Amino acid sequence: MAVLDASILNIALPSIMQDFNAKATDVQWLLNAYLITLVVLLIAFGRIGDMVRRDLLYSTGMAIFAFGSYLCAESWNITVFIIFRIIQAVGGAIVMGNSMALITELFPPGKRGAAMGVQAILVASAFSLGPILGGWLTTHLSWHWVFYINIPVGVIGITLAFLLLPPLGEKVKEPIDVMGLGLLAIGLGFFTLGIIKGQDWGWDSEKTIASFLIAFSYLVAFIAREITYEYPLLDFSLFRIRNFFVGILALFIMMMGLAATLFLLPFFLQGIKGLSAEESGYWLLAIPIAITILAPVAGRLSDRLNPKIMMCIGPIVFSVGLHLLNDLDVDIKFWELAPIFFVLGVGMALVMPVAMNVTMTAIPQRKAGIASGTIQTFNSLSQAMGVTFGGVLFTGKMNDLIPNGHVHISIKL
């Protein structure tokens, strides 16, 4: 639910803009407010999960998310809508910031890879299926159901959490670094804002430059604080663990590549081939299907084989898929394009669960929450940067995409 809601709303934005008679810039903040809140709070809630009963915190996060979804569906103007999206994102940050930590605590080494494979299915599939589900709900019901659908899922999730999750007691009892949290929130908030709005403002505009300068200053202050503070919010010693650093880097690069690809492809499918939003979503289904089939297998193999093998093969396969997309013709058929999308999905499936398993296995279990929140923060940033990178490519290559109205279209990814 939490990952899905970062992408499901895109298709519904025109309907929302019409219903509220809102400007496009106002409606965009329904997406921006959600993503910025996630990025700002993920590490903090992962850290809090190390200090309280993680099972209860996780259930609380689902409850807040479901309640925030109900509020969003019942919004009466765009301003309160944005506020309710922030409430929803707080619940999402609690859930996402502790999901991998839960897996780490509940599954021993040797079985953790398969569980991470299931996690990878849900993350990648939600990211890919968001536009399809959003398009269907908006077309056949209304945009309100983009949020209503979260309520029964949330209720079921909370019920199952209480029934199935064992009590997970506190691992550490330390004070929360409130000053560090404030520095991190401002730093990451302005960094994410600069990434999101840089394309609209212009990368050399005063607003964009100011956002990155503020972000840099506060993030440097945050690092200095965490290195010297006795109870850091983010333990930078984790980055000295090679497997932790390499795993985060692999996830960051792959998720950024997937986000850029999924941003560009709908412009080709809808703007060039003339498909509807719902139809273009179905064309992209091969990516989550490949991940669904292979991610559990890759995760299980990472418990038995050297994970370096798949973490090397995966990016190569993904790059092959991007190369095959390098020259698309407007007349390409579904059965010609689906295998290319499947190759992209295979590349992601070979990396995501393996990198998650390697990363979470490398750190002490008492720091699982910090690690989980850190991974999800970098994943969220990578998606924002991927969409921005895709937007820059799309704008820069617009003349190549439609050269004097010629039929042959070439998309460079």
Which CATH number characterizes residue 362's domain? 1.20.1250.20
Q: Is residue 256 part of a domain?
A: yes
Q: pTM, whole model, 2 decimals?
A: 0.69
- Please give the residue range of the domain that contains residue 194: 177-232
Q: Are residues 182 and 166 part of one domain? A: no
For 324, residues 6+ apart whose C-beta sits below 8 A from its C-beta are 340, 343
Specify whether the CB–CB gap between 125 and 81 falls below 8 A: no
Q: Are residues 247 and 171 part of one domain? A: yes
CA distance 131 to 278: 8
Q: Is residue 43 part of a domain?
A: yes
> In the chain, what is the straight-line distance between the N-terminal and C-terminal CA atoms, in Å?
29
Q: Are residues 211 and 270 part of one domain? A: no
The total number of residues written for the chain in this structure: 413
CA distance 97 to 57: 10
CA distance 142 to 19: 11
Q: Are residues 196 and 141 part of one domain? A: no
Q: Domains in the chain: how many in total?
A: 2
Residues of the chain with pLDDT below 50 are 399, 401, 403-413
Burial of 400 (0-12, 13-18, 19+ CB in 10 A): exposed
Burial of 140 (0-12, 13-18, 19+ CB in 10 A): exposed
Q: Are residues 150 and 114 part of one domain? A: yes
Q: Are residues 260 and 191 part of one domain? A: no
- Cα atoms in the 13 Å half-sphere on the side-chain side of 143: 16
Q: Are residues 345 and 205 part of one domain? A: no
Q: Is residue 409 part of a domain?
A: no
Q: Are residues 115 and 53 part of one domain? A: yes
Q: Is residue 66 part of a domain?
A: yes
Q: Are residues 314 and 257 part of one domain? A: yes
Q: Are residues 285 and 188 part of one domain? A: no
